[in-house]
Structures are given as structure tokens and as C-alpha cells.
Amino acid sequence: MSVRILHAADLHLDAAFEGLSPEKAALRRAEFRRLPSILADEALRLRADLLFLAGDIFDSGRVYPETAEALRSALSRLTIPVFIAPGNHDYYSMRSPWAETELPGNVRVFTKPELECVPLEELGVNVWGAGYTSASCPPLLRGFSVPESGRTDLLVLHAEADRPDSPYCPVTAEELSRAGFAYAALGHVHSFGGPRRAGGCVYAWPGCCAGRGFDECGEKGALIADVSDAGTEVRFLPLGQREYRELSVRAGSDPLPAVTNALPRDAERCLYRVTLTGETEEAPDLAALAAAVSGKVFDLTLRDATYRPRPIDGSDTLRGIFLRRMRERIDAAPERDRPMLLEALRLGLDALDGREGPV
Ligand SMILES: [Mn+2]
């Protein structure tokens, strides 16, 4: 027995993108709409045997017709079995897109908040799953273990770990260990924290397929799980979507080159939140800076955390003594030591002003 699973979750198609202009929000929704097709391409390229979508495929129960059509047409390019376990955002109901969209025959949507088993004789596996029918789901794995079948048991489920009182189908390592799955393909957690192991079970959340805010920074993607009699191997598959990134930049006397130099080459496709830090004579002109930088990134949020120099009143204050001694040391130091001493001076002044390190 050896199967390859492409496992994705939390696509959140048709999310509103409230922080963006209406034009950019529409563009982002269109880009997200392409995610099912990208996943289908990857399933074909990597010769996956199964595609698991572990919930929150849609951001809500209402979707644009073209979004449901994008999912339908992407999945219809596949001949492999596809399993969908609706989550708290896209729970199953008679009025949900799951009921209203005619998905191809290779797609199975779990529509009940109880574990169901689909045996796949050819692959030698059982696929277990469940679907939310409201914005919450009880703990389905509590006291559960798979019956002996001679096949390898797999799970696809939208579930939260490490929070036994969670309304989102809480699961524990102990339950997963006892349940008897070789691989549990989970959804709900928006960042990939690596595969985990509980007894003979490997389980993982791939995180969202693409970020939607600065609480979802960095590279996002799906997982490839190779399950065989020898064990389960999981690896991350980046999907190459726009990333949210945070930068902290010392503004200095001219923040424009400081910010420009801090942006990497691929900044154009990313959404940045840049925080200006350090001591400056004047507050930076954020509007002018935004106008000059906005063409270099997909979207820019600027925050000003700079501060003005404080007058040194009297040389007997701690600040005055520190400043005087550091100046003496800098004047006396060889050239190569000066950058380090200047940095020490800056950090010391930050600390004295109650600003420890970059904000
Ligand atoms: Mn969720």
C-alpha cells in the first residue's frame, strides 16, 4: 500500500479583503479563485492518488457563481477521488454552495457532523471524514477508533488541537493516537507548524493556501503526504501566492532609501506593513513616502514608530553621562570599532527612552 495525498485547507475563497481598495480586493478574490485550479495542476504534476480539502474552502456560505464554477471546473479536470470536509466557515446546509453546486462524480463532500467511512478498494485505504453543519462541531474523535478492515485508514477533518473546549471539533494527540489513522489531514489552523506524530498517526494542518492579512504572514501552501506501509512522509508544497510581510526599518534622516533598500527583489508581488523606527529630527512624511514606495509593492501599510531627540538637560543625568562617555569612547576608538559603538549608543538611548530595541 502506497498512496500520495495532496492535502489543502482554508482556501477561504471569496473573502472580503477589507484592508484593500475595492479594485485590489476584487483582484485578490480573482487570484484566490484560481487556487482550486492551481491545486488541480499540482495534483496532476505530482501524480497524487487523492485530493483532500479539509474545510473552509469558502469563506462563507455565500459565494459568487464564478467561484463555485472555478471549483467545479478545477475538480472536473481530475480523475482521482477528491474528499471535502466542510468547516466552520463553509459548513454544509441545503442552501450552502455544497448543496447548490453540481460537483463531478469523483468528488465526495462529507455532509454530516459524524465520521463516515469511504472504502477505496483499489488504493487499499479507507477515507474517513465529517462535515460541519453549523459554525461549530462536537469532538468527533472522542472515544473513536477505526474498526479492523485490512485497509489503511485516513482522515480528512476540520478540527482544532490543544484546546479541549474548542467549538471546532477539538482533537487531542491521545485521541489521534488511539483512533488508528495513518494520516489525519486536518484544517482550521492557518499556519503550517510541521507534521506531528501521535503514536502511529501522523497529522498536520497545511495552513491557509494564501495569506489574507498580517496575521497570516509568510509563504503559504499545501501538503504532500506519502502514506505507505513503511510510514507517512509529509512535505510542504508552496503555492507561490502573494505574501504578507512585515518589515521594521530604521528611518534615519531619509526614510525613502532606507525603506527601498529593505525591500527584497520579489517585493512587487507582496503586501507589506513597514514600521519606521529610531530617532529622527522630524516625523517622517508618510503620505510622500507611501506615494514613492507604493509602486514597488503590491500593497503598503506604513506605521510611524519614530521619536524625536530629547534635549539633554544637564550633564549629571544618566542620559547625559551615558552620552558623554559614549562620545569619548567613539572619538577614541579605531575606525573599525565605530559602527559597533554607534549602534551601542543608539540602543542605549533607546533603552533609556524606554524603547528597547526595534519596535
Ligand atoms: Mn476554520
Measure the CA–CA gap between 289 and 285, rounded to whole angstroms. Answer: 6
pLDDT given for residue 157 in this prediction: 98
**Rounded mean pLDDT, 22-49:** 97
CA of 188 to the centre of ligand 1 (A): 4
| Distance between Cα 89 and ligand 1 center (Å) | 6
Checking DSSP bridges between strand 82-84 and strand 107-109, what pairing results, if any? parallel
Residue 329 has pLDDT above 70, yes or no: yes
30 φ, ψ (degrees, to nearest 5): -65, -40
Closest to 101 (Cα-Cα) out of 57, 152, 157, 166: 57
Q: In angstroms, what is the span from residue 214 Cα to ligand 1's centroid?
A: 17
Q: How far is the CA of 303 from the centre of ligand 1 (A)?
A: 30
Give the β-pairing of 196-198 and 201-204: antiparallel
| pLDDT at residue 18, as a whole number | 86
Structure confidence at residue 65 (pLDDT)? 95
pLDDT at 356 > cutoff 70: no
Distance 129 CA to ligand 1 centre (A): 15
Q: pTM (2 decimals)?
A: 0.85
Q: Separation of 168 CA from ligand 1 center, angstroms?
A: 8
Cα(343) to ligand 1 centroid in Å equals 44
Domain spans in the chain, listed from the N-terminal domain onward: 2-238, 244-352
> What mean pLDDT do residues 252-277 have?
95
Ligand 1 centroid, distance to 159 Cα (angstroms): 8
Mean pLDDT across the chain: 94
How remote is the CA of residue 77 from the centroid of ligand 1, in Å?
27
**Ligand 1 midpoint to CA 46 (Å):** 27
Taking only the tens place, the pLDDT of each residue in 226-245 is 999 999 999 999 999 999 99
How far is residue 158's CA from residue 154's CA, in Å, rounded to a whole number? 14
How far, in Å, from the CA of 86 to the mean position of ligand 1?
9
CATH of 2-238, picked from 2.40.170.20, 2.40.37.10, 3.30.70.1290, 3.60.21.10, is: 3.60.21.10
- Strands (E) located in 142-294: 152-158, 160-161, 170-171, 183-187, 196-198, 201-204, 221-228, 231-238, 244-250, 271-277
The band of 198, judged by pLDDT with boundaries at 50, 70 and 90, is very high
